[in-house]
Amino acid sequence: MKNMKKLVSIFRNKYYLTLIVFFIWMLFLDRNDLLSQYQYRQKLAQLKTDQNYYKEEIIKVKKDLNELSTDPQQLEKFAREKYLMKKDGEDIFIIIPEEQEQKK
């Protein structure tokens, strides 16, 4: 019973009541409530992961570009593999491993 009176007296005090309403507002009703903050942090972590992935990919592509622009043999190999280009009089045979054939 004492605890109940104490609780009621806290709610009658306008400063405590204002403080409680403020916390409820900030925790659940505000545009940047706890759930939103959690979701924003999750999204930020995902974006940082994506950023690191793309930075690594950019480094790989720049390395490949440098190799293709300096080495004519690499350029020919790339053109033959990627675009199936050939010299006059050549025939191209594409060999598909058995594992890939079974998946199709």
| 38 and 77 belong to one structural domain | yes
| 38 and 78 belong to one structural domain | yes
29, two tokens:
């009703």
58, 51 Cβ separation under 8 angstroms: no
| 1 and 45 belong to one structural domain | no
| 26 and 52 belong to one structural domain | no
50, 57 Cβ separation under 8 angstroms: no
Q: How many domains does the chain have?
A: 2
**Contacts of the segment 64-72: beta carbons below 8 A, 24+ positions apart:** none
Q: What is the pTM assigned to this prediction?
A: 0.56
* pLDDT by 10s per residue, the chain, length 104: 677 777 677 777 788 888 888 888 888 887 888 888 899 999 999 999 999 999 999 999 999 999 999 999 999 888 888 888 888 888 877 788 887 666 65
Q: What is the pLDDT of residue 60?
A: 97
Q: Which domain holds residue 57?
A: 32-84
Q: At CA 30, angle to CA 28 and CA 32, rounded to 5? A: 100
